[in-house]
């Protein structure tokens, strides 16, 4: 009992730490932007939602991971504070999404009594993922040059859209469930029933065919949808899952070759891919068009310098997509290299915890699910922060928990709930009463 | 006071708090990892000759004391949980222990022809035991249920869970009601099979 209290104490203290941090930042934003002080409650409500969630989850099982929620609280609190300076209306909406997300997290956590039950839903989620992608391709709404949005009811019927959301975000979690379930069931076959092809151990086609089909299908669609970030993400997820389940390095090697070949092919065949890469190689080719985003981002980083131009000054608002994909650049401008490094560290710690949960999971499905979610989280962070800092070509993808966006926030909370569900106990309750 | 001064000071405070938070989480995670690995090896740590900070030395002393208060292994089965022993001799006078090995089960008795006494079964983070093929440790024993038990690692402790087996799981002669934490050299009996648990 004492150890349980001690453990929860760590989490609650860290959450209070997070609340203090956001309160301080919120007070600065109120001062700097001239908002009335009572609006400070807005900033606090973001962290408050997560604290409330933590307290509710606490009653379920005191053994679950204690570091992720405080980390997420700080990351999303910081993201909110930046967003709040740039766009007040979006900020208000973001609060609603954050609170909804926290609520959904609690609901998902309780709904899944045993994570292994999700393994039975692997084909359902696989089909659902394909369906969502197909629907977006057919009825998607275009925003900003990419067809990523679904609206219900569909446009053209003369009705006001009730909900618009980005299916790609949801597909991430569905794909994790499908891949984890499929690979966990066939890990033995993928590992043992292999053939040597050109000196590399490869599994028989029939074991891997559904996986390859799934990946090829989703990749084609994402390239067709012009959503390169998602394409990279799903490819990485697929490779990581097969490697984790089998331990064969040849998978990773083949995947790397495929990735390079695919990259070269995409560069040659798809003009929008070529633009991205060319702008990465030299953004000054079109400083006011294709290269505008990356240049603005680089200017922001440079202006930020070591310690930043100042928090709560509304700086960085001129960067395109400042509230969503490029929020990291805004943070780096206002808080400088020091702040940027701190943000990266927060993400690194969260990724470490996610992988630790996978490592400590008791069954292969739970382990692979947690690992998949961890891979998605880290890849997303790497792709967008790498893009913003011009390490790799910039592709549009959200920074988890930090970017503005309803679907992204809610889905990230669902993923968080799944991770916590894997972490909570190594013995699911269902197993005990079985005869 | 000038607003810009307040904002600049505020920014530095924010950065400081941010790094404070990162440091707090980092230290906490490292501490947890160390505690887990310490429990995993049963309190035995390789002695280092490098000078260590006082806090760490104190912790190491506590660990050594903890390891020493741990009761001596009981080779006989059917013993109750050992009672704490009188204060131990200083750790330095103990004979050098052999290298810690991976946690495992040693077969003591078995009906299964493929499992002779003395065979060792390494334990991963989670091992399911039972008669059916889906188990990671399959026992061809008529008195073992198809899904008999689960031996897993939770917070660095090795836990045995009886999965509602018909004939029960016995640790040191006592039937496991729900779950029990395994100690080094516990005797585990399921059906006609007996294992000894070795933590190191």
Measure Cα distances from A155 to A48, A104, A161, A169 in Å. 36, 28, 7, 21
Residue A59: predicted pLDDT: 65
Closest residue, chain A, to B15 (C-alpha):
A339
pLDDT tens, N- to C-terminus, chain A (435 residues):
455 555 577 888 999 999 999 999 999 999 888 888 888 888 888 899 998 988 888 665 666 788 999 999 999 999 999 999 988 888 999 999 999 999 999 999 988 877 878 888 888 998 998 888 888 877 777 665 566 677 766 666 666 666 677 888 898 999 999 999 888 887 767 766 666 666 666 777 777 777 777 777 777 766 677 777 888 888 888 888 888 887 777 778 888 888 888 888 888 888 878 888 888 888 888 888 778 888 999 999 999 889 988 888 877 778 888 888 889 999 999 999 999 999 999 999 999 999 988 887 777 888 899 999 999 999 999 999 999 999 988 888 889 999 998 889 999 999 999 999 888 754 433 333 333
Closest residue, chain B, to A9 (C-alpha):
B28
Number of Cβ pairs closer than 8 Å across A and B? 122
Residue with tokens 């900003």: A144
Chain B hits for A361, CB-CB cut-off 8 Å, are 125-126
Question: Pick from A406, A411, A403, A415: which is nearest to A80 by CA?
Answer: A403
- Give kind and range of the element (H or E) at residue B189: strand B187-190
- pLDDT tens-digit series, residues A391-406: 988 888 889 999 998 8
Residue A56: predicted pLDDT: 85
- pLDDT tens-digit series, residues B179-192: 888 988 899 999 88
CB contact under 8 A, A353 and B29: yes
Chain A hits for B3, CB-CB cut-off 8 Å, are 31-32
Chain B hits for A27, CB-CB cut-off 8 Å, are 10
CB contact under 8 A, B154 and A426: yes
**Structural contact between residues A180 and A369, judged by C-beta atoms closer than 8 angstroms:** yes
**Structural contact between residues A240 and A372, judged by C-beta atoms closer than 8 angstroms:** yes
Chain A hits for B4, CB-CB cut-off 8 Å, are 310
Compute the nearest-CA separation of A433 from chain B (Å): 5
* Range A367-379 burial, b when 16+ CB lie within 10 A, else e: bbbbbbbbbbbbb
Query: Rounded to 5 degrees, what are φ and ψ at B122?
Result: -70, 145
Q: β-strands B169-171, B187-190: how paired?
A: antiparallel
Q: How many CA atoms lie within 13 A of A316 on its CB side?
A: 36
For chain A, the C-alpha Rg in angstroms (whole number) is: 22
User: Residue A228 CB: number of other CB atoms within 10 A?
Assistant: 24
Instruction: Provide the H-helix boundaries in B115-183.
Output: none
In chain B, what's the furthest Cα-to-Cα distance? 86
Query: Rounded to 5 degrees, what are φ and ψ at A426?
Result: -90, -10
CB contact under 8 A, A24 and B166: no
Q: What's the rounded Cα separation, in Å, for the pair A108 and A421?
A: 9
Closest residue, chain B, to A27 (C-alpha):
B10
Which 91-150 residues of chain B touch chain A by CB within 8 A?
A: 125-126, 145, 147, 150
Chain A hits for B29, CB-CB cut-off 8 Å, are 67, 349, 352-353
Q: B154 has which bridge partners?
A: B157
Compute the nearest-CA separation of A181 from chain B (Å): 15
**Structural contact between residues B134 and B128, judged by C-beta atoms closer than 8 angstroms:** yes
Exposed / middle / buried, residue B55 (Cβ in 10 Å: 0-12, 13-18, 19+): exposed
Instruction: Provide the H-helix boundaries in A122-227.
Output: 122-139, 167-192, 205-225
Q: What's the rounded Cα separation, in Å, for the pair A334 and A317?
A: 11
**Structural contact between residues A184 and A364, judged by C-beta atoms closer than 8 angstroms:** yes
Which of B11, B123, B159, B163 to probe the A interface (max A CBs under 10 A)?
B11
Residue with tokens 């941010």: B18
CB contact under 8 A, B25 and A70: yes
Exposed / middle / buried, residue B25 (Cβ in 10 Å: 0-12, 13-18, 19+): buried
CB contact under 8 A, A427 and B20: no
- Give kind and range of the element (H or E) at residue B126: strand B126-130
Question: Pick from B110, B73, A29, B132: which is nearest to B121 by CA?
Answer: B110
pTM metric for this prediction: 0.74
Chain B hits for A435, CB-CB cut-off 8 Å, are 145, 164, 166
Measure Cα distances from A384 to A208, A322, B165, B182 in Å. 30, 12, 51, 46
CB contact under 8 A, B6 and A31: yes
Closest residue, chain B, to A361 (C-alpha):
B125
**Structural contact between residues A309 and A334, judged by C-beta atoms closer than 8 angstroms:** yes
DSSP-derived 3-state class of residue A253: helix
CB contact under 8 A, B14 and A425: no
Question: Pick from A53, A23, A20: which is nearest to A39 by CA?
Answer: A23
- pLDDT tens-digit series, residues B118-171: 888 888 777 888 887 777 888 888 888 888 888 888 767 888 988 888 888 999
Q: Which two tokens stand for residue B107?
A: 């077969």
CB contact under 8 A, A14 and B21: yes
Chain A hits for B163, CB-CB cut-off 8 Å, are 431-432, 434
Of A10, A360, A433, the CB nearest to B125: A360
**Structural contact between residues B155 and B161, judged by C-beta atoms closer than 8 angstroms:** no
Question: Pick from A282, A121, A55, A358: which is nearest to A274 by CA?
Answer: A282
Chain A hits for B19, CB-CB cut-off 8 Å, are 338, 342
How many residues can be counted in chain B? 200
Name the CA dihedral angle for A398, A95, A63, A433, rounded to a multiple of 10 degrees: -90
Compute the nearest-CA separation of A356 from chain B (Å): 10
Tell me B88's DSSP state: P
Q: Is B154 on the interface with A (CB under 8 A)?
A: yes
Q: What's the rounded Cα separation, in Å, for the pair A140 and A156?
A: 12
**Structural contact between residues B190 and B129, judged by C-beta atoms closer than 8 angstroms:** yes
Q: What's the rounded Cα separation, in Å, for the pair B108 and B86?
A: 31
Closest residue, chain B, to A75 (C-alpha):
B18
Residue A81: predicted pLDDT: 93
Measure Cα distances from A268 to A98, A257, A276, A278 in Å. 41, 17, 12, 12
Q: What's the rounded Cα separation, in Å, for the pair B61 and B67?
A: 10
Q: What's the rounded Cα separation, in Å, for the pair A120 and A116?
A: 8
């Amino acid at each position: 009992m004492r150890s349980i209290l001690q453990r929860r104490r760590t989490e609650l203290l860290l959450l209070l730490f997070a609340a203090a941090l956001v309160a301080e930042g919120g007070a600065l934003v109120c001062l700097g932007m001239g908002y009335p002080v009572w609006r400070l409650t807005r900033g606090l409500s973001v962290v408050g939602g997560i604290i409330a969630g933590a307290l509710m989850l606490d009653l379920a099982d005191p053994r679950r991971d204690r570091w992720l929620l405080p980390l997420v609280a700080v990351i999303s609190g910081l993201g909110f504070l930046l967003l709040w300076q740039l766009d007040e209306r979006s900020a208000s909406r973001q609060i609603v999404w954050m609170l909804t997300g926290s609520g959904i997290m609690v609901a998902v956590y309780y709904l899944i009594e045993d994570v292994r039950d999700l393994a039975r839903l692997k084909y359902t989620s696989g089909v659902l993922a394909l369906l969502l992608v197909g629907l977006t391709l057919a009825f998607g709404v275009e925003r900003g040059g990419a067809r990523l949005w679904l609206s219900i009811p569909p446009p053209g019927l003369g009705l006001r859209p009730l909900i618009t959301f980005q299916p790609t975000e949801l597909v991430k979690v569905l794909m994790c469930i499908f891949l984890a379930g499929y690979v966990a069931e066939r890990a033995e076959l993928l590992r043992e029933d292999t053939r040597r092809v050109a000196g590399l151990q490869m599994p028989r086609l029939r074991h891997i065919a559904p996986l390859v089909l799934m990946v090829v299908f989703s990749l084609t669609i994402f390239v067709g949808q012009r959503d390169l970030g998602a394409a990279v993400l799903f490819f990485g997820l697929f490779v990581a899952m097969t490697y984790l389940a089998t331990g064969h390095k040849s998978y990773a090697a083949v995947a790397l070759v495929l990735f390079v070949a695919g990259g070269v092919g995409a560069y040659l065949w798809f003009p929008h891919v070529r633009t991205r890469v060319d702008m990465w190689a030299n953004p000054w080719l079109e400083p006011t068009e294709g290269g505008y985003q990356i240049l603005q981002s680089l200017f922001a980083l440079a202006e930020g310098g070591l310690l930043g131009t100042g928090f709560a000054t509304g700086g960085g608002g001129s960067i395109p997509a400042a509230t969503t994909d490029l929020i990291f650049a805004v943070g780096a401008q206002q808080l400088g290299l020091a702040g940027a490094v701190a943000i990266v560290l927060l993400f690194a710690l969260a990724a470490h915890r996610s992988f630790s949960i996978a490592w400590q999971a008791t069954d292969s499905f739970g382990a692979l699910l947690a690992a998949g979610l961890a891979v998605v989280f880290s890849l997303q962070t790497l792709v967008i922060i790498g893009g913003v800092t011009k390490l790799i070509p910039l592709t549009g993808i959200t920074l988890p928990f930090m970017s503005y966006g309803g679907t992204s926030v809610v889905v990230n909370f669902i993923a968080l709930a799944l991770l916590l569900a894997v972490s909570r106990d190594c013995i699911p309750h269902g197993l005990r009463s079985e005869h | 006071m000038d607003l810009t001064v307040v904002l600049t000071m505020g920014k530095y405070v924010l950065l400081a708090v941010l790094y404070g938070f990162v440091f707090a989480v980092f230290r906490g995670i490292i501490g947890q990892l160390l505690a887990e690995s310490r429990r995993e090896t049963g309190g035995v740590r390789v002695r280092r000759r490098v000078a260590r900070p006082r806090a760490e030395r104190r912790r190491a002393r506590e660990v050594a004391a903890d390891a020493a208060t741990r009761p001596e292994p009981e080779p006989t089965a059917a013993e109750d949980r050992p009672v704490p022993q009188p204060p131990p001799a200083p750790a330095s006078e103990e004979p050098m222990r052999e290298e810690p090995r991976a946690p495992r089960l040693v077969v003591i008795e078995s009906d299964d022809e493929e499992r002779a006494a003395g065979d060792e079964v390494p334990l991963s983070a989670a091992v399911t035991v039972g008669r059916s093929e889906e188990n990671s440790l399959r026992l061809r024993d008529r008195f073992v249920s198809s899904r008999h038990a689960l031996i897993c690692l939770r917070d660095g402790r090795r836990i045995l869970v009886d999965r509602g087996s018909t004939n029960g799981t016995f640790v040191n002669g006592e039937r496991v009601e729900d779950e029990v934490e395994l100690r080094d050299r516990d005797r585990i009996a399921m059906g006609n099979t007996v294992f000894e648990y070795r933590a190191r």
